[in-house]
Amino acid sequence: MSEGVLALGPLTGPVTGQSKAFKVFLSASSNDIRGIDKYVGNDPASFYRIIKFFALVLFFSIFGRYRTLYLTTSRTKFGFILDLYAIFVFKLVCNGKVVNHLHGSDFVLFRDRFPLLSLLDWTYMKIDTSIVLCEPMKEQYACYPKMNVTVVPNFSDRDSFPKQAYNPGERSLKLLYLSNLIYSKGILHLVKAVTKIRNSGFDVSLTVAGRFMSDSHMSKGGLVKECERYWSESIKYVGAVDGAAVGDLLLANDIMCLPTFYVTEAQPLAIIEGLAHGMYILTTRHNYNEAFLDCAGNGIIWVESKDDRSIYQGLERLVLDGIDTKVRVENYNFFKKNFSLEAYIEKIDEIL
């Protein structure tokens, strides 16, 4: 049997925290890894991708004889069919180890709504180890007492020691929103709050980067229309960014803003990338945010979900108090201790 790993996850499609984590792991792991794209989508090429997925899983299970199957958790009905097929084929042909990696906080919700619960549970009882992002997140798999559930925190693959803080007397703040633009990630509440605080005489600017997407609260088109009302010289939308452009934005701003109430949010990469650059973090106590940020100290500005006024008050405190270089260094050191890429890769490699 080969000593390699057969890895299934999103290699194409929209950029998400899960897809980025999967692709970075494939490129950096010390294991001999064969990656297979698990993204389906709803475009004309989706049928081809499905057939290709089924064929590649069967082919490499038979002829590769890998020791471990590593897959990112699907929380859609069709995504589960892909997982079921892969786990069944791999266990039948290779009789190897199955490792499942959960990046979202909604498996319990998915399971509760799944129409064929016995089939889902039968499949998940075939999984040897599941990876979650923080200790409280183990509750997502509490219904499988025999499953080994282990914690591997998320990561950032870029970091920079914090720059010098600005002079509080300047009453100026540079904010960054760096995530998919979804209503339930709080983007509309953020731009409203920034508009209000600027109208109060504070010199606060906001750069917004990401791709517009729909959720259950608001369509993509509706969100675009609402946000466009607030774009200005001080609230700039720069579109989706990647590569060096992301690093430039992180270096150019002081506070990472993600006032999220997104249902699947677990351990947002945007927050971790903010910490990796010594930025202050403005966010909510939604889902597991508090659990993984509870030791970060004074560099976290907690605001209420869906509350423009709470965001306004958090920003007002920051402008009046000023940004402390010592706090920025503490945030950076918190990242280095808990969320480095090296630690992430090493921990998953050990599990595989």
The number of residues in the chain equals 352
For 145-154, write each residue's pLDDT tens digit: 999 999 999 9
Give residue 319's pLDDT: 87
Residues contacting residue 328 through CB under 8 Å, at least 6 positions apart: 162, 165, 278, 279, 280, 299
Please give the share of the chain, as a percent, with pLDDT higher than 70: 97
Mean pLDDT of 125-144: 95
Spatial distance between the Cα atoms of 107 and 87, rounded to a whole number of angstroms: 17
Q: What is the pLDDT confidence band of residue 1, given thresholds at 50, 70 and 90?
A: very low
- 5-151 CATH fold: Rossmann fold (3.40.50)
Q: In what order do the strands lie in the sheet with 148-151?
A: 33-37, 5-9, 68-72, 97-101, 129-132, 148-151
Domain residue spans of the chain: 5-151, 168-338
- 78 or 322, higher pLDDT: 78
* Mean pLDDT for the chain overall: 91
**Is the separation of the CB atoms in 315 and 194 below 8 Å?**
yes
- Global pTM exceeds 0.85: yes
108 contact partners, CB below 8 Å, separation of at least 6: 139, 140
Report whether 100 contacts 348 (CB < 8 A).
no
Q: What does each C-alpha distance from 350 to 18, 150, 307, 346, 347 come to in angstroms?
A: 20, 11, 42, 6, 5
DSSP state of 162: P
The mean pLDDT value for 183-205 works out to: 95
Query: Binning pLDDT at 50, 70 and 90, where does residue 171 land?
Result: low
Q: What's the burial of 95, exposed, middle or buried (CB within 10 Å: 0-12/13-18/19+)?
A: exposed
Beta-carbon contacts of 314 under 8 Å, excluding residues fewer than 6 positions away, are 282, 301, 302, 303
Mean pLDDT score, 243-269: 93
Q: Sign of torsion, CA 12 46 31 126? A: positive
Q: What is the band of 300 on the pLDDT scale with cuts at 50, 70, 90?
A: very high
How much is the average pLDDT of 200-221?
94
Is the pLDDT reported for residue 167 higher than 70?
no
| 72-123 pLDDT, tens digit each | 999 999 999 999 999 999 999 999 999 999 998 999 999 999 999 999 999 9
Report whether 18 contacts 104 (CB < 8 A). Answer: yes
Q: How far apart are CA 135 and CA 11, in angstroms?
A: 27
Token pair 């966010």 is found at 283
What does the angle CA 213 – CA 216 – CA 220 come to, to the nearest 5 degrees? 25
**Measured in whole angstroms, how far is the alpha carbon of residue 46 from the centre of its chain?**
24
Residue 232 is given by DSSP the state S
> Could you tell me which CATH number the domain at 168-338 has?
3.40.50.2000
The yes-or-no verdict on residue 346 having pLDDT over 80 is yes
